[in-house]
Chain A
Amino acid sequence: MIRYFIRSTGAHLRQAPSLFLLTVCGVALGVASVLAIQIINRNAIGAFSAGIQAISGEADLSVVGRATAFDESLFPRVLGMEGVAAAWPLYQVDVALAERESFFLQIYGVDLFSSFRTPWSTTPEDLSEVVSEPGWMAVSPALAREMGWAEGDSIQVTSGTRRVDLVIGALVDFQKMSPLASRKMAVMDIAQAQGLLGTAGLIHQIDVRLREGSDREQLKGVLQQRLGPSVQVVTPEQREKQAADLMGAFRLNLTALSLISLFVGLFLVYTSTQASLLRRRTEFGLLRSTGATSNQVLGLILGEVVLLGAVGVLLGLPLGYGVARGNVEMVSSTLTNLYLLQEIDSLEFPFSLYVLAAGVGVGGAIAGALFPALDMSRRDTRALLSVTTLHEKVSSAALPLFVAGWLLLGLAGSWFWLWGQAWKPSGFVLAVAILLALPLLTPFLILKVCARIRVRGFNLAYALKTLSAQLQNTSFASSALAIAVSMLVGITLMIGSFRETVQLWVETTIQADIYITTPSWRAEPEAAMDQELVRQMGAHPGVASFEALRRIFVSTGDKRISLAGMEMRLAAAGQSRFPLVEGDRLNLLQQLRDQGAVLIAEPLARKSGLEVGDKLPLYGPRGMEEFPIAGIYYDYSSEVGSAAMDLATMQEHFGPAPINSLSLYLEADRDPEQVIDELRARFPGIPLRMRSNQHLREEIFEIFDQTFSVVRILQVMSLLIAVCGIMLTLLVMARERISELALYRALGAGRLQIFRVFVGKGLGMTLIGLTLGTVGGTVLAAILIYIINRAYFGWTIQAHWPGWPVAQQYATILAGALLASLYPAFRASRTPATELSRDDI
């Protein structure tokens, strides 16, 4: 049987290479999209863990602030605790390179003289230099090479409005110890990091190594109790999990989208297996009649499918890696934008991902082929050797399938309505139900539509009418396309609505004329602006008023949110700055000013189940304090959630600190760009990022578009698979219907006529797929906007139909389908009348 398998597979491949290639392409694309997303997801977490690994090394526990930083005087308390074998403090600050403002260095300030045991214990030869050489830092050789730095070179960085000279003191290969560690990592003495770039008195982390044999959980509890609520004692695993949870929604959504691509790919495998089996039915009949068991036939079929899957995996691996590689930068920026997490710097491709790819490809191919294969192997010999019983199966099943489709939708809808709403991932259940229902509904709809077509010749109408006659093939091709289109339309509608909503939000909230911050602010939101400078800019001629913003990161429960402090007494900081979802508009400012109330962003309210009148618990230097919630505002700047309070309240509860950004309102006749020029000229050499209102809006949308770029790639991949499906189906038709085509030829049909009929069939299937997909996509968009987005991201998105982008996509699909139809149509048109065989008459 094995020898037969090899020979028959070879023969089969030689007979239908294009069929095989298209199927393999479908599998490869499916594998690639799942793989690309998994690589990106895993490396996003990996980048975070690698940061922990490279810096915290062999730490058993870490003490981290509930706010961003905490009082360094806790350090001796940690060190003195029984069971602690070593402890070392860490100060972390991100700075921007003066010459390349968008390039950030992650500076870790460490105490190299403490019992410091990092995995990169390469100590510089002269430790005294670390302290005595101003700005001494160690960077990775990779970064030094990239930037053209050598030991002893001096570079200039900015931290807030400070401009500081740093010296490349040593080259330390951090990546050698922790391969995913960012190449942008730099290490310097803690005193230098605090004194030159940051704030005295605060640290960000204390890493703790425990004495051998100590009970980590017990010590963690004791340490937490001893240090009080301003810090959190966590294990390295907990820290990784926190980051993973933070990115959870993002990762889950990407995974779901990549699975849709795979799902579309499965349809392709189904179609091609079905086609190949139909063509080879006689072969199987003969095999069975000569004594092969049904299991042997099943094995033969599945063996071929596994081979097909394996080839798909081989192609999908590099493709997936390429897609991940090509998009890593965009995803990385998204993660930094949305979650303020470490950038993904390098990609790792662990063995488990190869296994996953193989599983997805081969498993997917088997799943796609299993049903037709089982069907074929179980038929008795007689049925296999006669033709007529095969084709009508789908037609007769069309109505039951249609009913099943509606039943599925009904069940899913009822389940959601009755029980599902409280369950976070319920939206995905609905989405899956839609995607499963679409192929069930398709055959019946094709039958009904085609039944209404009147045929008056061998023309386009004939092409469409006969789609129903070949339902076995056409319904699958249309379904696959419908699913891909659903995804495309659904996501396009969601993104379009989201963009429109953000547009409205930006118009309401971005009101000031000039926004000023510092270059390092993007990476280090607590980067300080010099107070005197702020005062001078506020008093600049032409500036009517200004608004100072201080942003800090604080913990509420187990979440870390961004907390903005602004002077709420200013009219400008009123309603327009915080468009309210809910809250008492009239008394809002008074509550914020006099009662120490907070405003919370919609995502935070939704995710934490908070309402106006509730209290928001926040951890500050004095431990946990509660703030009354005066209102909930629309906010699309962070998925994690944010809150705002009066600057005075912030100073009272979180201590005084400099502000991080500034917005200027100009006198009516002043031109923002001109004032920016004046400010630049007045404060030369001070690192400032000044953007006019218009400029900032543009920047917001750049970030927005970047956030969804990976989603677009997935859309394209699904579409490619679906277009492959159209081509495949037409090719199958051209092959399977050889005798029918020959009959047409014998009856006098010209080659051009057959060509046109075939292209018509292709377009017909595409139109059906588009129509179904549009309906499915609209429902999917509603699920994405109203259910999934609210559950995972917590934003209110106003529905909006972005006509032009959708129309463009339709045109692209039609063009793609047309192109895909050309080759099969050409092949069909070449069918000679002599192919007419006795069996098919």
Chain B
Amino acid sequence: MIFKGMLALFLVLQMAMAGPEWKVAEPDFDWSFPRDHWAHSGYRTEWWYFTGQLTSREDPGRRFGYQFTLFRIGLQPEPSRLDSRWATHSLIMGHAAISDLEGRRHLFSEVLYREVPLLGGFGAPGDPLIAWSLPPAGGEEHWELLWNGEAFDFHMSDPERGMALDLLTRPAKPLVFQGPDGYSRKGKPSSAASQYYSFTRLQTDGTLTVDGKRFQVEGRSWMDKEFGSNQLAENQVGWDWFSLQLDGGQEIMLYHLRDRGGASDFARGTWISKTGEARYLEAGDWSVEVTANWTSPATGAVYPARWKVSLEDVEYEIVPLLAGQENRSRLVLDLNYWEGAVSVLNSEGEEIGQGYVELTGYGANNRPPV
């Protein structure tokens, strides 16, 4: 899930070499929960990433995919000493999207503020509030992420786009580290890594608003939390990331970074058993084949739109539930990526799970400049 966080890094260009002042990911990080659910300001980037599929309680045929993410983007490792309430050393960025699978619509909303008391910020361990920010202009209700003792509650709304999420989660399975001891490699150099854990199956309830219409919803979510101080290598242009929840109770997380030629440059993954044990996958343990493409009418980017994943002799087919699930930022120039709800099929074509896929670096100008 680090790749999602990398999206934020485009803002902090030229930070290729993590300066000595930023903390870097270590294989022997001293994890402590619930403390580590809160922000770690010594690292350059950090994010809380929720994706999931929900169904209306009143109308079970009405399905939605959603994404809710808050990023902390470090600007400088130390707090500013300036006498100003605008003085900051990090930014908070929020992305939220709802895919209305029946209405065939995809809504995207975003916020970007400096971390200052007026605009947004991060709570301290012990305080239920993990992060908050003002909503997009024209709205009043804050975007918030809270620790509820077991997992997370969060809220976002964007009156202009008529969308809102108000969701409560509780873990159906325990927290799992992505990578041994939560140390997740991202590239060939050992320094390219992050601290990474997930809640791969969160029972989710609450309300969801699309086009001003509110739905009582329930379903399953996936949460990633990651922090680190690294970035894309120069030869990498983007990444494909998969989080799959199988109906049998297992989860699969896979990612690979692509080089300029489109080939896979670095790949990893995690297999999580029904009881929550993780098995870490190397590049050779799995493969992916793109079987269809979709061209965004808005950006012209050509994204993969169907995949065949082979993992330990099992083949899965991954099918987007809606083609147009492209997020296009208005606050950050050329930040466009595909983040969408998918269905997992077995070789017989039966649906055996659900998931989310993220695709970045497609299209002419869409390479995150990190």
Contacts and interface: CB of A to CB of B under 8 A. Distances in A.
A83 interface: yes
Given A125-B14, A194-B84, A200-B85, A132 B75 contact: yes
A115 B118 contact: no
B87 interface: yes
A195 B83 CA distance: 5
Nearest to B91: A113
B118 A75 contact: yes
Contacts of A126: 12-15
A120 to B, nearest CB: 14
B146 to A, nearest CB: 20
Contact of B113 (A73, A114, A192, A211): A114
A86 B137 contact: yes
B12 A211 contact: no
Contact of B138 (A72, A85, A113, A128): A85
B85 A115 contact: no
B273 interface: no
B86 interface: yes
Contact of B140 (A72, A73, A80, A190): A80
A191 B86 contact: yes
Contacts of B118: 72-73, 75-76
Contacts of B76: 128, 131-132
B135 A115 contact: no
A80 B119 contact: no
Contacts of A200: 83-85
A84 interface: yes
A286 interface: no
Contacts of A81: 138
A539 interface: no
Nearest to A201: B85
A250 B84 CA distance: 39
Interface residue tally of chain A, by bracket? 35 or more
Interface in A707-750: none
A200 B159 CA distance: 32
Interface string B5-24: 00000011111000000000
A425 B159 CA distance: 52
A87 interface: yes
Interface string B152-175: 000000011000000000000000
A79 interface: yes
Most buried by A among B76, B82, B84, B139: B84
B85 A72 contact: yes
A89 B76 CA distance: 22
Most buried by A among B88, B91, B138: B138
B83 A84 contact: no
B134 interface: yes
Interface string B205-233: 00000000000000000000000000000
Most buried by B among A86, A113, A211: A113
A79 B112 CA distance: 13
B331 interface: yes
B15 A128 contact: yes
Contacts of A201: 85
Contacts of B140: 80
B75 A190 contact: no
Contacts of B331: 115
B80 interface: yes
Given A84-B137, A115-B331, A127 B85 contact: no
A60 B140 CA distance: 20
Contacts of B201: none
Most buried by B among A75, A123, A128, A194: A128
Interface in A63-115: 72-73, 75-76, 79-87, 89, 111, 113-115
A165 to B, nearest CB: 14
Contacts of B11: 127-128
B59 to A, nearest CB: 30
B258 interface: no
A131 B75 contact: yes
Contact of B83 (A111, A127, A194): A194
A407 to B, nearest CB: 66
A21 interface: no
Nearest to A128: B75
A374 interface: no
A801 B132 CA distance: 73
A810 B330 CA distance: 70
B37 interface: no
A612 interface: no
A191 B138 contact: no
A196 interface: yes
B89 interface: yes
Contacts of A125: 13-14
B114 A211 contact: no
B160 A111 contact: no
B82 to A, nearest CB: 3
Contacts of B14: 125-126
A211 B162 CA distance: 14
Interface string B242-256: 000000000000000
B84 A115 contact: no
Contacts of B112: 113-115
A127 B11 CA distance: 7
A132 B14 CA distance: 13
A171 B114 CA distance: 24
A484 B12 CA distance: 67
B136 to A, nearest CB: 8
B304 to A, nearest CB: 31
A82 B85 CA distance: 25
Nearest to A129: B14
B137 to A, nearest CB: 5
A80 B87 contact: no
Nearest to B140: A80
A135 to B, nearest CB: 11
Given A113-B112, A128-B76, A80 B138 contact: yes
Given A80-B139, A113-B112, A115-B331, A131 B88 contact: yes
Interface in A212-244: none
Given A125-B13, A131-B76, A111 B86 contact: yes
A113 B85 contact: no
Interface in B1-58: 11-15
Contacts of B333: 123
Interface string A121-153: 001011110011000000000000000000000
Given A86-B137, A191-B82, A111 B114 contact: yes
Given A80-B140, A132-B75, A191 B87 contact: yes
A190 B138 contact: no
B134 A80 contact: yes
A170 to B, nearest CB: 13
B86 A87 contact: no
Contact of B82 (A80, A83, A195): A195
A420 B91 CA distance: 63
Contacts of B87: 191, 195
A200 B116 CA distance: 13
A69 to B, nearest CB: 13
B364 to A, nearest CB: 20
Given A75-B118, A128-B15, A194-B83, A87 B88 contact: no
A114 B133 CA distance: 12
A330 B118 CA distance: 44
Most buried by A among B11, B14, B113, B137: B137
Given A113-B113, A126-B12, A200-B84, 11 more contacts: A79-B138, A80-B138, A85-B137, A89-B86, A114-B114, A125-B13, A131-B75, A191-B84, A192-B82, A194-B82, A200-B83
7 contacts: A86-B137, A115-B137, A115-B330, A126-B14, A127-B75, A132-B89, A189-B86
Please give me the 5 A-B residue pairs with the lowest Cβ-Cβ distance, nearest first.
Answer: A195-B82, A194-B84, A191-B86, A132-B76, A191-B87
Interface of B: 11-15, 75-76, 80, 82-89, 91, 112-114, 118-119, 134-135, 137-140, 159-160, 330-331, 333
